[in-house]
Each structure stands twice: as C-alpha cells, then as structure tokens.
Amino acid sequence: MEGAKLIGAGCATIALAGAAVGIGNVFSSLISAVAQNPFQANKLFGYAILGFALTEAIALFALMMAFLILFVF
C-alpha cells in the first residue's frame, strides 16, 4: 500500500512541471508583446500577473493533492 501512495503522489506532482512550463510561457509572451508595443506595457503586465496567478493556483492544487495522498490516505 505504501508503494501505491508514493506512485500516486509522484503522478500528482507531474502537474508541477506543466505549471512551470505555463509560467514560462506567460512571461515569455509578456516580453514579446511589450517588445512589439511598449505603450501597452502596464495593461499587458496586469494580464500577465493574472495568468501567473491562475497557473500557480493549478500548481498549488497539484501539490496539495500529492500531500493529501501521502499523509491522509
């Protein structure tokens, strides 16, 4: 049973790699957009922070699920 918990927690943390790629994608798009239109930098930065927060929330949910699998079940 302990091995199944470790495998389940490992599978849950795979989402953290996806979140890291998503955060990198958000900020690389921000840099590209600001380079094309610097006058919209403040508005674009607000959208980038929103995208970062939503992507980070998914990572925190995945981490929470991994800890629940390890320590509760």
For the beta carbon of residue 24, count every other beta carbon within 10 angstroms. Answer: 11
Indicate the domain borders of the chain.
Answer: 2-71
Two structure tokens written together for 47: 């959208």
pLDDT band at 12 (very low <50, low <70, confident <90, very high): confident
User: Could you tell me which CATH number the domain at 2-71 has?
Assistant: 1.20.20.10
Confirm if 13 and 69 have CB atoms less than 8 A apart. Answer: no
Q: pLDDT tens-digit profile of 21-70?
A: 999 999 999 999 999 999 999 999 999 999 999 999 999 999 999 999 98
Give the pLDDT of residue 30.
96
The rounded distance, in Å, linking the Cα atoms of 59 and 7 is 18
For the beta carbon of residue 69, count every other beta carbon within 10 angstroms. Answer: 19
Give the pLDDT of residue 68.
92
Give the pLDDT of residue 47.
95
